[in-house]
Chains A and B, each alone.
Chain A
């Protein structure tokens, strides 16, 4: 293994190339810009194409077109730019075109955006939220696989720290199962044969080859996402088995929470961590199991409370849930604010844990 000191954006780019990504298009917006820059530097040497599009909408649709032609393709931005791409993402979901979308987000306020659909129609986007750059390298490769496997748009939920921090990494290709040939791709091979292919959201087909139509197509797509929900949920637990207090956090915030949990464990506190690795599908059944024996569930996310909706839906006892996160943005508006810091998180966890851990010192009035 040879370690190379790489900026997160470069490591993700190398991972995309290791996954045979051949096309990337996007429009600069901080903190996504370093990823676009890295793609533009490295894509050509990998026989690929990177285009600095004129807008996010254009970039997303270029990537959709490249993917419809059978190439692994991706686009990206931060949540603000991905808001503009929602029509494309919805079309990709409903006409079943693989598409990898990198959200190098400014904070964690895009949880709803990436887990609730976002455009129109009945679909969701598989979203992986790596906790650090090493994991982002794996997730990037896995996402290209999942996009092809399910013929669906997928999202990497990154952030400013993942985009800009430099770490020693070894970008090794992941060993993933082989996928069937793309017999749906618009590669021109069937032109003039009378059975040329279509990628069409309404799936009406042609006179000599009728499709299922919108009703049939959208029922099928909805059923597909229901199936994905059953099989693609991923999570990680740290010291959850005997925890009195279980912290739930995702992405970089989970890395910080894990650090604090390890520190508190060494001091004898029975705290644990539950980390959704996929934000959608949310690992609900696993959370229900992990929260069965705990006294309190602390939700830490850098927003006003978005993932907490999913935690409320799945936790064993909703009355045990407390929110310890919050909106925290730095003065530029482009990155995390002071809440993403181990001492601050430690204080918030201990405020809930210690108060309840010692019954003699407990405040008589119940917390809401």
Chain B
């Protein structure tokens, strides 16, 4: 599949939308990706929307990247790819996702029939992978590892360095577990055949 751009009438920009339930690590995975892309010298934007609750409510984030000053809107009309950490609260993301856009689904929580008819869907049991990696809270990082392995957006070492730097001092103890989750997600998708190609 050739690289696509549907985020703007001009310039090649790529938009990823991430959605799920507050507490699944959605904001942190999106910020890690945006930060890693910025560290590569690329133009990145992170748009975040979440309800008043810290946990349990709808949460969503958007990461846009390009190699020139971005024209993307802070609320993107269209996304090129999506990470759905849960089937709940995914409606807005799916409504904006380009036809054929790479879609990662957290198959640990989404039912099997969810998006069964859609193309380019990659099922990643992110919650289970993270638990097996000894980092039950790091499902978001398992998904980010899978996404980056599929798209080549950022390498494992870049992600680990960025993730570690983003953790506040009182959460540094999670760095190793998060790194294992990133690796587990990447290993999962490189071991299964997929039609999804590089998108960035």
Contact = CB atoms under 8 A, between A and B. Distances in A.
B77 A341 contact: yes
A134 B69 contact: yes
B46 A165 contact: yes
B13 to A, nearest CB: 12
User: 7 nearest interchain CB pairs?
Assistant: A342-B77, A166-B46, A5-B38, A262-B9, A165-B74, A161-B74, A263-B9
A347 to B, nearest CB: 11
B182 interface: no
Q: Interface majority SS on A: helix, strand, loop or mixed?
A: helix
A8 to B, nearest CB: 9
Contact of A166 (B42, B45, B51, B75): B45
Interface in B44-61: 44-48, 51-52
Nearest to B42: A168
Given A3-B38, A4-B38, A167 B8 contact: no
Contacts of B77: 259, 341-343
A358 B35 CA distance: 48
Interface in B1-57: 8-10, 31, 34-35, 38, 41-48, 51-52
B88 interface: no
A340 interface: yes
B71 interface: yes
Interface residues of B, number: 24
Interface in B79-136: none
A31 to B, nearest CB: 12
Interface of A: 3-5, 132, 134, 161, 164-168, 252, 255-256, 259, 262-263, 265-266, 332, 340-343
26 contacts: A3-B38, A3-B42, A3-B43, A3-B44, A4-B38, A5-B38, A132-B74, A161-B74, A164-B48, A165-B74, A166-B31, A166-B48, A167-B44, A167-B46, A167-B70, A168-B42, A168-B44, A255-B73, A256-B75, A262-B71, A265-B9, A266-B9, A332-B51, A340-B75, A341-B75, A341-B77
B9 A165 contact: no
Contacts of A4: 38
B73 A259 contact: yes
Contacts of B45: 165-168
B34 A5 contact: yes
B71 A259 contact: yes
A51 B52 CA distance: 26
Contacts of A343: 77
Nearest to B8: A259
Contacts of A263: 9
Q: Select the residue from A3, A4, A134, A166 with max chain B CB neighbours within 10 A.
A: A166
